[in-house]
Amino acid sequence: MKMEVKRLLDETDQLQADKEEANKLTVVAQKHKLAYKKELEQMRNAEHLQQLNSMLFGLQASNDDDTQALKQLESSFISDSNDFGKMPPKGSDLFSEIHGDMHGRISELEAKNDQLSLNLKDAERDISFVVPVLKKLE
């Protein structure tokens, strides 16, 4: 009986030690998980900052381009001051560009529609040949 009690006490002590070790491992795992989360967040923030920096650089570059374009526009006004009252040539305004673009787009879509209609007719013709054969097989 004493041996059995001693064995049970030893087993209890071993289980208690295993439980404490498992708790310590859980704490370590949680710390690692938190560290990985922080690292991931830092990586995301670094990526976001990099994107913002590239956007800022792009805006600065476009601002330089804008000032250059503004200077060119100003110089063209100065050099063409005697042509100021004249009408622009046909097709040089925004409406003409958009309107001309629409005609091209419409013709493309009509051609695509015609092609799709032909494909549909071919498919319907193929189906009309296949359906009777399948009905005979049933």
Model confidence pLDDT, tens digit, residues 17-42: 999 999 999 999 999 999 999 999 99
Q: How confident is the model at residue 91 (pLDDT cuts 50, 70, 90)?
A: low
**Given a cut of 90, is residue 54 above it in pLDDT?**
no
- Tell me what pLDDT residue 29 has: 92
* Mean pLDDT, the chain, integer: 81
**Surface-to-core class of residue 123, CB atoms within 10 Å of its CB (0-12 exposed, 13-18 middle, 19+ buried):** exposed
- Tell me what pLDDT residue 95 has: 63
Distance of alpha carbon 68 from alpha carbon 3, whole angstroms: 96
Extents of the domains making up the chain? 1-78, 92-138
- Tell me what pLDDT residue 27 has: 92
Model confidence pLDDT, tens digit, residues 60-79: 666 666 677 777 777 777 76
**Given a cut of 70, is residue 58 above it in pLDDT?**
yes
Q: At residue 36, what are phi and psi to the nearest 5 degrees? A: -65, -40
Per-residue 3-state assignment (H helix, E strand, C coil) for 27-57: HHHHHHHHHHHHHHHHHHHHHHHHHHHHHHH
State the pTM of this model: 0.37
